[in-house]
Homo-oligomer: A and B are copies of this chain.
Amino acid sequence: MASEHILGLSATVLRKKFRTGMSVRNYKENEIVFSQGDTADAIFYVQSGTVKLTVVSARHKKAVIAFLRRGSFFGEGCLGGQSLRICTAISVDQSEIVRLRKGSTVRTLKRDPQFARLFNAYLLSRIIRIEEDLVDQFFNFSQRRLARVLLLLGDINEGSKPECPLKVSQSTLAEMVGTTRARVSKFMNEFKKKDFVRYNGGLQINGKLIAAFLQTRPMSVDTKA
């Protein structure tokens, strides 16, 4: 079942690097890869499908801190001193996920410059992305943040067929944006009126209109017009 290429390397080559430290597994919809609080002894790589990372606060609030597609690592915190998972990783779709044991990964990072470079590049892209998220949280109110999340989801989905819309509930959107479902419902209706999105079995996103919206003045100044 495993695909031929992983991390842009042939599976055979990669197996040689990791030997028994590597395993591949399929996860079904909503299956948990690891839970907040678990011991952290491996990193993962999304070979196909989608994974979301969520955090639960002391007040039972939930936040989605990442929505990862093919080509992303996760659980990398364990390489940097985290002994417990600080988030829960859930397979959203059917996913094929590579598991790399911490020990093997550390060893491979040391010995294999090629893998180290790949991993390095990933970390960089992730930093850039999270920093954007952080700035977004600082500057914008929820309506704009929701628009941004939708735009990114639209981009991510670009590769798929147009007749395969996203399956994202308003609750999940609320958690990604950092707001309540009630507001998402309200904003989504506004967006529907503006043709930013459409519901045809799933969610269809008009990236161009949303991008234009995000170009305009921040905040909701223009909603008064």
A residues in contact (CB < 8 Å) with B? 55, 57-59, 61, 63, 65, 76-77, 79-82, 86, 109-110, 113, 116-117, 119-121, 123-128, 130-131, 133-135, 137-139, 178, 217-219
- Nearest residue (CB) in B for A175 is B138
* Partner of A120 from B61, B77, B119 at Cβ < 8 Å: B119
B80 and A125 form a contact (CB under 8 A): yes
Cβ of A63: which chain B residues have Cβ within 8 Å of it?
135, 138-139
Cβ of A131: which chain B residues have Cβ within 8 Å of it?
65, 77, 86, 130
Main secondary structure of the interface of A (DSSP, over half): helix
Q: List 30 A-B contacts (CB under 8 A).
A: A57-B135, A57-B138, A57-B218, A58-B218, A59-B218, A59-B219, A61-B138, A61-B139, A63-B135, A63-B139, A65-B131, A65-B134, A65-B135, A65-B138, A76-B124, A76-B127, A77-B124, A77-B131, A80-B125, A81-B128, A86-B131, A110-B117, A116-B117, A120-B123, A127-B127, A127-B130, A130-B131, A133-B134, A134-B134, A138-B178
A178 and B130 form a contact (CB under 8 A): no
Cβ of A178: which chain B residues have Cβ within 8 Å of it?
137-138
Q: How many copies does the complex hold?
A: 2
Cβ of A127: which chain B residues have Cβ within 8 Å of it?
76-77, 80, 123, 126-127, 130
A21 to chain B, nearest CB (A): 18
Cα separation A133 to B132 with both chains bound (whole Å): 12
* Partner of A55 from B77, B79, B125, B135 at Cβ < 8 Å: B135
Cβ of A57: which chain B residues have Cβ within 8 Å of it?
135, 138-139, 218
Q: Given contacts A57-B218, A113-B116, A218-B58, is CB(A134)–CB(B124) below 8 Å?
A: no
B76 and A217 form a contact (CB under 8 A): no
Cβ of A219: which chain B residues have Cβ within 8 Å of it?
59
Cα separation A133 to B133 with both chains bound (whole Å): 10
Cβ of A218: which chain B residues have Cβ within 8 Å of it?
57-59
